[in-house]
Amino acid sequence: MNPQAPVRAADDAWLTVVYYRFRAWRGGRPFWAGLFTLIGGFPIAYFPYADLRLGNITIAMATTAGAGSLIIGILLMTLGVALWFQQGIRVFAGVASILLALVSLPVSNLGGFFIGFLFSLLGGALALSWAPGKPVDPEADGATDHQEAFADAPVGGVPGPRGTETAYPSYPSYPSETTAHADGGRNSAG
Spans of the chain, pLDDT less than 70: 1-12, 59-65, 138-190
**Which residues, 6+ apart, have CB-to-CB distance to 66 below 8 Å?**
48, 49
CA 127/CA 28 separation, integer angstroms: 13
DSSP state of 134: -
What's the pTM value of the predicted model, to 2 decimals?
0.61
List, for residues 56-91, the tens digit of each pLDDT value.
887 666 666 678 888 899 999 999 999 999 988 999
Q: What string of DSSP letters covers 127-181?
A: HHH--------TT-HHHHHHHHHTTTSPGGG----GGGTT--TTS-----SSTTT
Q: Which amino acid is at 170?
A: S
Count of residues making up the chain: 190
